[in-house]
Chain A
């Protein structure tokens, strides 16, 4: 009976500890020059009203656990919708989206946060006009650079990952610096290499 009580107490303490991590998380903040709040339909817009060319909207999301790096996202403009119950239903970051978290950085065109799973999905090319770049978002990390159909920022686990895997991405500038275009033309024309076995974020 005593053993059962100890087990129960341990389980309750573990559950409480897990809850504390989540309930103590500081608030998310959004900074912009201009914002417009439709308080009838609860649709919010953030931008730099004078110019749609700069990343003037910044979202700061503190880490889920103390000691983890915060996640900082910038974009040109951002929209959010709030449900009838007062909960934010989704947040959408538009154009030149940058997501930085510790030594990891993601670049893409559109990031959509859904409250039901607390995940932000980044898709599209950061700069669609750059034909030398990947058409997909790119995930930069100390383990290598990957490009793939989508990158996910998982708020619950404070992770920036490429869940469906990706291909290694070598920026054009890196190739040019090594003058590989003069020695191996075929390599230059194919910037997307097969992923290294240890470069997948899912193997971390």
Chain B
């Protein structure tokens, strides 16, 4: 009976140790923190050349899910590039999360967006950037500023 009890205790202890080890591994995987995070997306390759389409960067990155698909970024910056390599627009925020599976960037804080020519500027609080379909959603306090150059037929201004 004693031997049987000892066996049960040993089995239970092994189970606890195994669970603990797995939890420690999982925790280690989650806690991974890095600097200078970069998450690029490319246009379809043409003549063997892959051109940058969008780039999400952050000064600091931390994995927050067990499968390492969601990352919290500090000082994120989103950049969109035209096929010719020129920057189309940029967006910055104090913090956001990036889901590298769904290619979505979310934030609860302020977002500052502007086109490369600076004629179109957008701010708001709370945002979602869907990389796959190039959609940016502002959830609150949306404020857009459109310069006259972007509103008018410039040929008149040049006269």
> How far does the alpha carbon of A30 sit from the alpha carbon of B120 in the complex, in Å?
11
- Are the CB atoms of A115 and B122 closer together than 8 Å? no
Kindly identify which residue among A23, A35, A118 contacts B142, using a CB–CB cutoff of 8 Å: A35
- Are the CB atoms of B135 and A22 closer together than 8 Å? no
- Residue-by-residue, is A34-57 near B (CB-CB < 8 Å gives 1, otherwise 0)? 111111100010100100000000
Total contacts A-B at CB 8 Å? 96
Please, how many residues of chain B have a CB less than 8 angstroms from a CB on the other chain?
Answer: 34
- Are the CB atoms of B153 and A31 closer together than 8 Å? no
Binds A, one of B14-22, B33-41, B55-63, B143-151: B143-151
Known: A33-B141, A35-B142, A36-B137. A87 touches B89 (CB 8 A): no
**Does A129 touch B at the CB level, under 8 Å?**
no
- Which A residues lie at the B interface, using CB under 8 A? 15, 19, 22-23, 25-40, 44, 46, 49, 82, 86-88, 115-118, 155-156
Closest 9 CB pairs of A and B: A40-B134, A35-B142, A30-B144, A37-B136, A39-B134, A35-B138, A32-B142, A27-B145, A28-B146
- Which B residues lie at the A interface, using CB under 8 A? 80, 88-89, 113, 115, 117, 119-120, 122, 124, 133-148, 150-154, 156-157, 159
Given contacts A26-B148, A33-B141, A88-B150, list 17 more A-B pairs with CB under 8 A.
A19-B157, A29-B143, A31-B142, A31-B143, A31-B144, A33-B140, A33-B142, A35-B124, A36-B137, A38-B135, A39-B88, A86-B120, A86-B150, A87-B153, A88-B146, A88-B151, A117-B153
